């Protein structure tokens, strides 16, 4: 099958279009013909080798972490899906590979595609929506009336997180640039801070939760907007000891992550708040709940551009500029 892959880690390197063996079907798997694939910053970070210590992939590796497509075949133990079903998923981190014509995934990671979305729209959803769900619902236990700050409100995670937080009944603030203020307001944000004009840490206070997807400077400043007992949850690092344990990292790697996050954990503890790092995981059950919210009109996808399959490298380059509003998608079929 045709696929975009890497044979070695190289910062900023181009993905190679070549032939890759079709994935093998296991007893609990669904074998999917890929129609569309979402493009994420994660793809570039994996290519650059940023995760090689915690995600030890075997090379050559087909990249891609979001998929929408049609089930072609199912394993012997599969009862939830049948050939012809339109599905979408974020494959498990050890079975990625959506920049290709086919993929095999465990049925536990897959959900039926929302009936009201196209394949391209559906492919934009899984990774960012699961990230938002796992931060706001699982980790933060966000409740009606609480206040949440979502950084990078016009980005892939931000556009979905704003809508999910509003559905949960929260008061939502978001940061973005001047050009994207109107988009972020249209998604339901109660307060939009234009970071080109204002310092968010000076205009916001008393927040219960901050979802951070930006760098260290933003991470440190975010503590200032939290009230005592508030939670700072970051999807961009630094990783903490809890993540190291959950990931099955060895003792040495646990100590490295303890040191990387020591500063922010100490600062947050001093002011009576907490810090946690989240690396989202595949979950078909949660994605099914997200499907219900999409079909009910509570969450809508935001897509910046759709690129044809052969221009996958251009799509990834564009995502890495940081200028995309919402998601970038590849039309595979």
Q: What is the pTM of this model?
A: 0.96
Contacts for 265-272: CB closer than 8 Å, 24+ residues apart: 265/240, 267/220, 267/223, 268/223, 268/232, 271/223, 271/226, 271/228, 272/228, 272/229
Residue 66 near residue 122, CB atoms below 8 Å: no
CATH architecture of the domain 2-124+301-331 equals Alpha-Beta Complex (3.90)
Buried (b) or exposed (e) across 231-263, using 16+ Cβ within 10 A? bbbbbbbbbbbebbeebebeeeebebbeebbee
SS3 74: strand
Residue-averaged pLDDT of the chain: 96
Domain boundaries, the chain: 2-124+301-331, 127-277
Can you give the pLDDT at residue 260?
83
User: Where would I find the beta strands (DSSP E) of the chain?
Assistant: 2-6, 16-19, 29-39, 61-62, 67-74, 86-89, 102-106, 110-112, 147-150, 171-176, 191-194, 207-212, 226-234, 274-277, 303-308, 327-331
Can you give the pLDDT at residue 252?
80
* 288 contact partners, CB below 8 Å, separation of at least 6: 111, 112
Mean pLDDT, residues 120-135? 98
Convert the pLDDT of each residue in 21-34 to its tens digit.
999 999 999 999 99
Mean pLDDT, residues 274-281? 95
Asked whether the predicted pLDDT for residue 247 surpasses 80, the reply is: no
Radius of gyration (Cα) for the chain, nearest Å?
A: 19
Asked whether the predicted pLDDT for residue 253 surpasses 90, the reply is: no
Confidence of residue 86 (pLDDT cuts 50, 70, 90): very high
Q: Mean pLDDT check: name the lowest of 54-68, 107-121, 217-231, 249-263.
A: 249-263
Closest CA to 211 of 160, 246, 262: 160
Confidence of residue 254 (pLDDT cuts 50, 70, 90): confident
Confidence of residue 238 (pLDDT cuts 50, 70, 90): confident
Class of domain 127-277: alpha beta
Convert the pLDDT of each residue in 183-218 to its tens digit.
999 999 999 999 999 999 999 999 999 999 999 999
| Class of residue 199 by CB neighbours under 10 A (exposed 0-12, middle 13-18, buried 19+) | exposed
Q: What is the rounded CA–CA span in Å between residue 189 and residue 173?
A: 6
Asked whether the predicted pLDDT for residue 248 surpasses 80, the reply is: no
More confident residue, 267 or 239: 267
Convert the pLDDT of each residue in 5-51 to its tens digit.
999 999 999 999 999 999 999 999 999 999 999 999 999 999 999 98
Can you give the pLDDT at residue 261?
85
Convert the pLDDT of each residue in 141-187 to its tens digit.
999 999 999 999 999 999 999 999 999 999 999 999 999 999 999 99
Residue 141, by phi and psi: left (phi above 0), alpha (psi -120 to 50) or beta? left
Confidence of residue 277 (pLDDT cuts 50, 70, 90): very high
């Amino acid at each position: 099958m045709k696929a975009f892959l890497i044979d070695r880690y190289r910062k900023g390197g181009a993905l190679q279009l070549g032939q890759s063996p079709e994935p093998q079907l296991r007893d609990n798997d669904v074998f999917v013909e890929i129609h569309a694939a979402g493009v994420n910053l994660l793809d570039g970070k994996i290519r650059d080798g940023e995760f090689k210590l915690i995600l030890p992939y075997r090379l050559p590796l087909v990249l891609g972490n979001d998929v929408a497509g049609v089930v072609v075949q199912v394993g012997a133990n599969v009862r939830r899906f049948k050939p012809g079903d339109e599905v979408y998923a974020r494959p498990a981190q050890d079975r990625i590979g959506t920049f290709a014509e086919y993929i095999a995934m465990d049925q536990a990671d897959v959900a039926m595609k929302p009936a009201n979305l196209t394949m391209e729209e559906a492919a934009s959803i899984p990774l960012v929506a699961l990230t938002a769900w796992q931060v706001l619902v699982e980790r933060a236990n966000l409740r009606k009336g609480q206040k949440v700050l979502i950084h990078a409100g016009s980005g892939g995670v931000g556009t979905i997180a704003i809508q999910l937080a509003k559905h949960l009944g929260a008061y939502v603030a978001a940061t973005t640039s001047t050009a994207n203020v109107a988009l972020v307001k249209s998604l339901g944000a109660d307060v939009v801070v234009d970071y080109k004009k204002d310092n968010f840490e000076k205009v916001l206070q008393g927040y219960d939760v901050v979802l951070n997807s930006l760098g260290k400077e933003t991470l440190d400043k975010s503590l200032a907007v939290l009230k005592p007992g508030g939670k700072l949850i970051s999807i961009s690092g630094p990783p903490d000891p809890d993540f190291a344990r959950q990931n099955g990292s060895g003792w040495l790697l646990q100590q490295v992550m303890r040191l990387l996050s020591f500063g922010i954990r100490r600062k947050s503890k001093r002011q009576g708040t907490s810090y946690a790092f989240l690396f989202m995981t595949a979950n078909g059950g949660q994605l099914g709940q997200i499907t219900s919210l999409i079909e009910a009109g509570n969450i809508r996808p935001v897509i910046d551009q759709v690129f044809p399959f052969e221009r996958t490298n251009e799509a990834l380059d564009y995502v890495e500029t940081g200028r995309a509003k919402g998601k970038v998608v590849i039309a595979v079929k």
